[in-house]
A and B are shown apart, each in its own frame.
Chain A
Amino acid sequence: MSAPAAARTPVRRLAGVLHRHPGLRLAALLSAPMTWLALAYLGSLAVLLLSAFWTTNEFTSSIEYRWTTANFLAVLTDPQYRTVALRTLGIAVSVTLIDAVIALPMAFHIARVAGPSSRRLLLVAVLTPLWAGYLVKAYAWWVMLSHGGILDWITAPFGGHSPGFGVPAVVMVLAYLWLPYMVLPLCTAFGQLPDSLLDASADLGAGPWRTFRSVVLPLARPALIAGSVFTFSLSLGDYLTVQIVGGTTSMLGNVIASNVTLNLPLAAAVSCVPVLLIVGYLLAVRRTGALDNL
């Protein structure tokens, strides 16, 4: 298998050099993505943070590059912003909890109970909505939630009616939109759970509920947290759904969107709130080791 000297083409020589220098190999492999990450990703975040310390001319709405902390003070002290921030946090937490409660049995059924053919079918059913446009789905819910819509029609025999447009509608629609992001990691986790662990738990005297609590749930926790990172952060940053089905409700995203053209520095300061919330959440979650599975 020894290559003759004639076979030492430039490509092979380069491969040889890379083989002898692992550091060079790593640099060649990572320089492009790292540059992208540094410039486009972290760079824009830095600009965001920086611009939050500038101010705008009240008449022309043009940015003045004067150093000030007034925007942050406004966000922190103005009760209006605090209400919106807490509402947004509440919605994101509710969406995450609802998705977890729906996705746990759903993923368990898909991964462990359903037969091979119905498992494929169910997975397709979970994934298909991801292919449909965001706006299409949001407006579909608008139609369903509207007065005389399908929710009214379904709940009327039981004396109910559509929740109408508002915070409950926003939570419902966001929970619907992000559900696949919770189901998929849980499916993977349940699929990897060895049968023998469930057998062992039953063998040691644990009933189904005990086994779920003491074996299944702890082992699915990393996946649950991975899924919640998606549902939580996507809900925190959303502003279209709340515009469509939220009625007069506003979330942090709306405040940012409406200020972008009028007062960019204030919008930047407001958008630091969800960024900080997510960073805090990720730091808390990182300690559980759940991010290893992302």
Chain B
Amino acid sequence: MTPSPSPGTGPSPSPQSAPPRDPRARGAGPPAPGAVALAGVSKAFGPVRAVDGVDLEVRPGEFFSMLGPSGSGKTTVLRMIAGFESPSSGRVLLGGVDVTRLAPFDRDVNTVFQDYALFPHLSVRQNIEYGLKVKRVPRAERAERAAEALATVRLHSFGDRRPAQLSGGQRQRVALARALVNRPSVLLLDEPLGALDLKLRQEMQIELKQIQREAGITFLLVTHDQDEALTLSDRIAVFNAGRIEQIGTPAEVYEHPATAFVASFVGTSNLLQGEPAAQVFGEAGTYSVRPEKIRIAHPDDPAGPGEYIVTGTIREVVYAGAQTRFLVDLEAGGHLVAARQNLAESGADLARHRGSAVLLAWQREHTVRIDT
């Protein structure tokens, strides 16, 4: 009666496990060095350990996200890769070369800053050409590449404007173009969409993904937005308190969270532990099941094949447009959230469910046992 463990897809998602040094061990194509690799990187600000022994390897051409709450160390890791901070210990490698001691201007990476950091005294075109000019790229080539970059971010006719004359979304694109025009081996993005409103953010997510695919550049994104990380990334590293809790594909991280923190930070927290867990699963431990995997049924219904069942009472009903979420107090103790697509029902009839007894059922393989 033990829940099915997470299938062994990809590298072990157990927390704090160092990625294998030899890329061949991953079975990830040719033994090319990782675009970015961190080995035992720590950073202390006074007595505070902002980053605590992080190991990480980002594959070339990958869209990799560092996801975590504010203060979890993800931005500090990005700043150490860019060279704005130097690690207290550990090594930073770019394309297999140790750059730990190199200044930012000697590293083949470019950054899109959270506040965009456009030069206010330069026009959009001059901003984009800045990096090329510093590297003494000839004028004609500079103009050509800047025009190309402007076209990529769909701002053809904005070259002569000042950053102050642009909207937030346009500034964001200029920041992206200014970084991309240098054709870096790795592009670092520090909460690039954080200041945009929801609609614009979703549009830019699609564009970002498209640009990454076309440019074939490794993207390393820092975000606290789990939807953004799940939508955009090939792989995600979930940060908490200066450490990596889990590295995996969006599906791995979402469906098989390695720790209670990942289970609650990515998606809705739906944890069962202690006595209720022992009653439901027959063995004590910490378990997680995603709300949309749970079927809501009449209390007298039998369990389907291969299902866990649990009875409870609906405490709260939350209508959320496409979905309705039911907060159910379990008879065994504790509570679960179950989500249901609003296929037939509309908001008006939902309130009457409050207080009624229900049966919750879900497939056994959708249960994740978390080792804490």
Contacts and interface: CB of A to CB of B under 8 A. Distances in A.
B224 interface: no
B221 to A, nearest CB: 16
A25 interface: no
Contacts of A204: 105, 110, 130-131, 134, 178, 182
A205 B104 CA distance: 7
B121 to A, nearest CB: 5
Contacts of B114: 196
B308 interface: no
Contact of A199 (B109, B111, B120, B121): B111
B332 interface: no
A210 B115 CA distance: 22
Given A194-B115, A210-B134, A202 B105 contact: yes
Nearest to A204: B131
Interface residues of A, dominant DSSP: helix
Contacts of B110: 203-204
Nearest to B136: A205
Contacts of B153: none
A207 B131 CA distance: 11
A118 interface: no
A205 B135 contact: yes
Contact of B117 (A197, A205, A206, A214): A197
A199 B121 CA distance: 16
B141 to A, nearest CB: 16
Contacts of B135: 205
Interface string B98-140: 0000011100011101110111110000000011001100000
A15 B17 CA distance: 71
A127 B178 CA distance: 41
B130 A202 contact: no
The interface centre, meaning the residue of A194, A204, A207, A210 with most chain B CB atoms within 10 A of its CB, is A204
Interface in B65-101: 82-84
A290 to B, nearest CB: 13
Nearest to B126: A214
Nearest to B115: A196
Contact of B111 (A194, A200, A206, A219): A200
Given A200-B119, A203-B104, A204-B178, A214 B130 contact: yes
Interface string A203-230: 1111100100011001100000000000
A195 to B, nearest CB: 9
Nearest to A202: B104
A218 B84 CA distance: 23
Given A204-B134, A205-B135, A210-B134, A196 B117 contact: yes
A200 B117 CA distance: 6
Nearest to A219: B121
A201 interface: yes
The interface centre, meaning the residue of B105, B110, B111, B178 with most chain A CB atoms within 10 A of its CB, is B105
Contact of A215 (B82, B103, B119, B179): B119
B131 A199 contact: no
A5 to B, nearest CB: 46
The interface centre, meaning the residue of B103, B114, B117, B179 with most chain A CB atoms within 10 A of its CB, is B117
Nearest to B181: A204
A195 B234 CA distance: 31
Contacts of B103: 202, 207
Contacts of B182: 204-205
Nearest to B129: A204
A199 B84 contact: yes
B120 A205 contact: no
A205 B133 CA distance: 9
A48 B105 CA distance: 58
Contacts of A196: 113-115, 117
Contacts of B130: 201, 204, 206, 214
Contact of B134 (A194, A199, A206, A219): A206
Contacts of A203: 82-84, 104-105, 109-111, 179
A202 B134 CA distance: 10
A190 to B, nearest CB: 15
A194 B115 CA distance: 10
A202 B117 contact: no
Given A201-B130, A218-B121, A219-B120, A206 B105 contact: yes
A136 B339 CA distance: 81
A202 B178 contact: no
Nearest to A210: B134
A203 B82 CA distance: 7
B104 A199 contact: yes
Contacts of B117: 194, 196-197, 199-200
Interface in A55-80: none
A207 B113 contact: no
A198 to B, nearest CB: 9
Interface in B28-85: 82-84
Contacts of A215: 119
Contact of B119 (A197, A202, A207, A210): A197
B49 to A, nearest CB: 22
Contacts of A200: 111, 113, 117-119
9 contacts: A201-B119, A201-B130, A203-B83, A204-B182, A205-B135, A206-B130, A207-B103, A214-B134, A218-B121
Given A194-B117, A201-B130, A214-B130, 10 more contacts: A196-B114, A196-B115, A199-B111, A200-B117, A202-B83, A203-B179, A204-B131, A204-B134, A205-B105, A214-B134
Interface of B: 82-84, 103-105, 109-111, 113-115, 117-121, 130-131, 134-135, 178-179, 182
Interface of A: 194, 196-197, 199-207, 210, 214-215, 218-219
Q: Top 6 A-B pairs ranked by shortest CB distance?
A: A204-B131, A196-B117, A200-B117, A202-B104, A205-B134, A206-B134
